[in-house]
Structure 1
Amino acid sequence: MIKKVIIGTTIALLLAACSSKETGDNDHQKNIQKGLDAVAENDFAKAEALFELSVEDKPNDQTTKAYLEQVSLIRQANEDIENDRVEAGLEALKKAEKYKTGSKVISAKAEEQIGLLTSSKNTEEAYRQLLKEAESLAKSSNYKDSNDKLTKLLNEDLSNYNDIKQAAESLKETNLAEIEKKAEEQTAASKEEHSTVAQPTEKTYDPYEWAPGVKEAFEADMVNRQYVDSVDTLRYEKLQVYNNQGFYTVYGQIDGVEMYIVNVNVKTGDYHG
């Protein structure tokens, strides 16, 4: 009777142990599956917590450890990226993707993030290059060309690149100010040039100035009429101004002797004497 009781008790314990093991295995598998589901939903913090529970349940399960390591790498990568350590984050994602004993589901998520990060990185590099070109043009005083590039840049979605956006907006404002300043300087220079251009001044009226051609005709007439030996001997002295017209007293040499000849109007050429 005692033997039967002992045997019965042993069987009961074995059945309880088997039941407990099955329950533990079920919980372990459930946590793994829940962790993979969390990965699919991009909830890597939840996935990491579930895989940690699974590792605690079965510390020697290398597969679960691999899952946990993959997710931890992805979480570390995301933290690096948030802190502008993009290259470090990219390396962590590559490790998670290539983890040999890891989950294909987790590897696919790492690969997806690598693609997004690479695309974002290339986009950022293109934006920074455009900003650099605009800055170079501004330094060369090509403010309009610089602003053309800045306008193109600011038309892009820069919501994830606030530093680029702020730098572009600031440079554009500076360029506009320089363009306006240059225009004002050109306007001022043009006005100054216009105001300083020598304006033709009216010649002051001189009553004793000969009218065009009058002197030549008068002197030729003096020689033709033989009033003087030659034009070279003629000498003029101012006589008077009448009706705003000047009169000269004319002297000349006849046979080598200087004498008074006539009085002449320098405007009309009329003479008498």
Structure 2
Amino acid sequence: MIKKVIIGTTVALLLAACSSKETGNNNHQKSIEKGLDAVAENDFAKAEALFELSVEDNPNDQTTKAYLKQVLLIRQANEDVGNDKVEERIEVLKKAEKYEKGSKVISTKAEEQIKSLTVSKKTEETYRQLFDEAEALAKKANYKDSNDKLTTLLNEDLDNYSDIQQVAEALKKINSAEIEKKAKAEQKLAGKDEHSTVTQPTEKAYDPYEWAPGVKEAFEADLVKQQYADSVDTIRYEKSQVYNNQGFYTVYAQMDGVEMYVVTVNVKTGDYHG
């Protein structure tokens, strides 16, 4: 009788253990399935929590650990959202995509994000190039052409490129102010011309682009001193605009043997900017 009782008790304990193990396995599997569902919905925070529960239920399951690592990599890439970190984000996502023993579902999500970031990066490069071209035109006082490019840029969807949008809007305002200033100066000059007396034939005509005495020499010496030019001989001038009856030259010079735009200078005062 005692022997029967012992055998009965042992069987009951074994059945209870099997039932507990089966329940644990069920919970483990359900956590994995729910985690993959969360991935499909792009809820990677939820997927991370579910995979962590699954690993706790079965610490020896290397596959689930791989799933968890993939999700952690995707979340890391999604946290590094700076425009200057696109390359780093893509590299992290590639690790998630190619993770050994990883889930194809998670790999596909990583691949989708890589493609999206690549397209975004190329779009940003196109927008920045357009702005750089507009900025170069503005430096040469070609304000209208610069604004035409800026208008094209600002007509694009720049919701994800707020830094580009801000500098483009700021430059367009500066250009517009310069255009208005030039127009007013020309109108004022035209009005003066209408009421001015006839210049005597013996009197030298006023040239807005003629350097005031000593200004050019002082300007060029300062340019070399400030290391904006290798030497005076490398300095080259192009007519830019006339404002308040004073001529402005766009100045180019060689620095370390390479010619580039340097400044814009007032030939009457020697004041320059750039």
Would the TM-score normalized by the shorter structure come out above 0.5? yes
- 1:122 alignment partner AA: K
**Which range moved further: 27-36 or 91-100?**
91-100
Aligned equivalents of 1:196 and 1:19: distance in 2? 109
Shift of 1:82: 5.0
Q: Secondary structure at the match of 1:157?
A: coil
2:56 corresponds to: 56
Partner of 1:258: none
Deviations 1:68-97, CA, capped at 9 Å, x for gaps: 000000000000125852222111101001
Distance 1:82 1:35, change over 3 A: farther
TM-score (norm 1): 0.71
* CA-CA distance at 1:160 after TM superposition: 1.1
Aligned residues: 200
Give the equivalent residue in structure 1 for 2:266: none
Separation in 2, partners of 1:60, 1:82:
37
Could you say which residue in structure 2 is the equivalent of 1:74? Answer: 74
> Corresponding residue for 1:93?
93
Corresponding residue for residue 30 of structure 1: 30
Give 2:107's aligned amino acid: S
Is 1:144 paired with 2:144?
yes
Q: Give the corresponding residue for 2:203.
A: none
The alpha-carbon deviation at position 199 of structure 1 amounts to 7.3
Q: What's 2:126 paired with?
A: 126
1:183-222 CA-to-partner distances (Å, cap 9, x unmatched) read 111122222233334179xxxxxxxxxxxxxxxxxxxxxx
Identity %: 73
Deviations 1:98-134 (A, max 9, x none): 1121000000000001111111111111111111111
Match of 1:164 in 2: 164
Deviates more, 1:44-53 or 1:191-200: 191-200
What's 1:238 paired with?
Answer: none
Question: For residue 60 of structure 1, what is the amino acid of its counterpart?
Answer: N
Could you say what secondary structure the match of 2:159 adopts?
A: coil
Q: State the distance in 2 between where 1:83 and 1:32 align.
A: 34
Length-normalised TM-score, structure 2: 0.70
Say which structure, 1 or 2, has more relative contact order (CA 8 Å, 6+ apart). Answer: 2
Secondary structure at 2:39 match in 1? helix
Alignment CA distance shift 1:62-1:115 (3 Å): same
Q: 1:83 to 1:190 in 2, by over 3 A?
A: closer
Q: Which residue of 2 aligns with 1:237?
A: none
1:135 corresponding residue in structure 2: 135
What one-letter code is carried by the residue in structure 1 that aligns with 2:127?
Y
Structure 2 distance, partners of 1:197, 1:83, is: 61
- d(CA) in 1 for partners of 2:86, 2:2: 72
- Residue deviations 1:134-168 (CA, integer Å, cap 9, x gap): 11111110101101111001111111111111111
Q: Deviations over 1:39-96 (max 9, x none)?
A: 0000000000000011111111110000000000000000012585222211110100
Secondary structure class of the residue paired with 1:156: coil
Who wins on radius of gyration, i.e. which is larger?
1
**2:140 aligned partner, one-letter code:** S
5 Å-filtered alignment, 1:192-271, equals 192-198=192-198
Considering only aligned residues, what root-mean-square deviation do their CA atoms show, in Å? 1.5
Q: Give the match for residue 114 of structure 2.
A: 114
Q: Which runs of 5+ in 1 are unaligned?
A: 201-273
The alignment partner of 1:59 has SS state of coil
Q: Distance in 2 between matches of 1:181 and 1:126?
A: 31
Q: Quick one: which amino acid aligns to residue 137 of structure 2?
A: L
Amino acid at match of 2:94: K
* SS of residue in 2 equivalent to 1:160: coil
